[in-house]
Structures are given as structure tokens and as C-alpha cells.
Chains A and B, each alone.
Chain A
Amino acid sequence: EAGVTQSPTHLIKTRGQQATLRCSPISGHTSVYWYQQALGLGLQFLLWYDEGEERNRGNFPPRFSGRQFPNYSSELNVNALELEDSALYLCASSKYSRGPGYTFGSGTRLTVV
């Protein structure tokens, strides 16, 4: 069984640009979660999608947005990039919408210069 896949693995952008990160969940998983992990810090919850709808949102500005496609894959968009957006962005998926059973991908390392 393929795990959660994220692309790209690394992304370098210039301040002010937009970044798009992609996530493919495990087959059969309908919920996708996005977390930001800044260097040396913990996992900050960004967004949760289930069955194509945004179910919950963390304490991040509106320039962080995303969507979930009919095949349950998801993308995270970050507009107007700032230097402090540099972080590892982790995607997780679960079979049930109530959270337990998270499986994480290996993340996308976003560097804003």
C-alpha cells in the first residue's frame, strides 16, 4: 500500500511569490490534514479537509488556503510568501473524519528567500 505522498520534496521561492504544495492520501482515506513545522518547532495545525470540504482551520492568515479534489488529493497554496513561511509542510491522511489513524507524508521543505 502506497503511503501519503507529497510533492515537491523541496521548493524554493522568492518573497512575495506563491507556492503550491500537493498531497496524495493513502487509498481509501478521505481526510487530509496540513501542518506547518518550522525549524526547531512543533507541528502547527493549518487545515483539515474531508470529503472535499474544509472542516477546520488553524490560526494562520487567509493567504494560507487549500482545497481537496474529488479523488481526495489536496493542495496547499501560500500566497504572498514571507520569509517566516520557510518550514516543512506536512500532510497527513486518515480514513475517518475524526482524526485517529493519521499517517504522515515526508513533507515539502519550503524555503523563502
Chain B
Amino acid sequence: GENVEQHPSTLSVQEGDSAVIKCTYSDSASNYFPWYKQELGKGPQLIIDIRSNVGEKKDQRIAVTLNKTAKHFSLHITETQPEDSAVYFCAAIRETGANNLFFGTGTRLTVIP
């Protein structure tokens, strides 16, 4: 199965700075890469995703980049705000066939006001 590694495990940034979280995957056939945000006491929520036919996707302050050759993808948050503080998970899946999402180990992001 797929193996997804995520770094760093914890990240602290000053409000207004940028935050970058990186993930690598092992299955070259994986072609869908979502990112989830989990706030305290809640389930993970999808915040952005990217497919392997796209190199970059942006949604306001959040962007995701994908390097298929190197098998890694990253989440970029610009102009961070205190409400961005949460645990972020990356995931990967091969959309063909019967597969479930494989998640990274999570990054606890703290935005310091």
C-alpha cells in the first residue's frame, strides 16, 4: 500500500508569516492528494486538493504544489492567522481500483499572535 510521510510534525509561525508543510508518497500510481485541517474536538475537514495532472492549485491564502517526479507535495499557507492553528494532514490515493486514503502523520501548526 501507499506510505505517506509528513514534515514537520510541529510548526510555529508568527501571525502574518507563511507556513509550509511537506509530504512525500511512495506509490507512483497515486494521483489524488487532499489536505485536511483538524481543529480541536472536530473531525478533519478537506481544505484543498490536487490531482496529478496539475502542478499547483491555489485557493485564497492556501496553495498546494505537486512534484510527481520527486513524489512530493506541499501545502503553503500565506498571511497566517490565529484561526489557522490546527493539525494538518496530507493524504494520497490511487483513484483507480479499490483504494482508501492513506494519511500522513500530521503537522500541528501554531500561529502566534
Contact = CB atoms under 8 A, between A and B. Distances in A.
B100 interface: yes
Interface stretch (B11-19, B36-44, B54-62, B66-74): B36-44
Nearest to A50: B98
Contacts, number: 60
B27 to A, nearest CB: 13
A38 to B, nearest CB: 11
Interface in B48-106: 49, 89, 93, 95-106
A56 interface: yes
B98 A42 contact: no
Nearest to A97: B98
A97 B42 CA distance: 24
Secondary structure of the B contact surface, majority rule: loop
Contacts of A25: none
A4 B45 CA distance: 12
Contacts of B49: 100
Contacts of B97: 98
Contacts of A99: 32, 93, 95, 99-101
Given A4-B43, A90-B43, A90-B44, A102 B105 contact: no
A102 B49 CA distance: 11
B8 to A, nearest CB: 14
A106 B43 contact: yes
Contacts of A41: 105-106
A5 to B, nearest CB: 11
Given A45-B102, A99-B32, A99-B100, 18 more contacts: A4-B43, A41-B105, A42-B6, A42-B89, A42-B106, A43-B44, A43-B103, A45-B101, A90-B44, A92-B43, A98-B93, A100-B32, A100-B93, A100-B95, A102-B46, A103-B46, A106-B41, A107-B43
18 contacts: A4-B43, A33-B100, A35-B103, A42-B89, A43-B89, A43-B106, A45-B102, A90-B44, A97-B98, A98-B95, A98-B96, A99-B93, A99-B101, A100-B32, A102-B46, A105-B43, A106-B41, A106-B43
Q: Which 4 A-B pairs have the closest CB atoms?
A: A104-B43, A42-B105, A43-B103, A99-B93
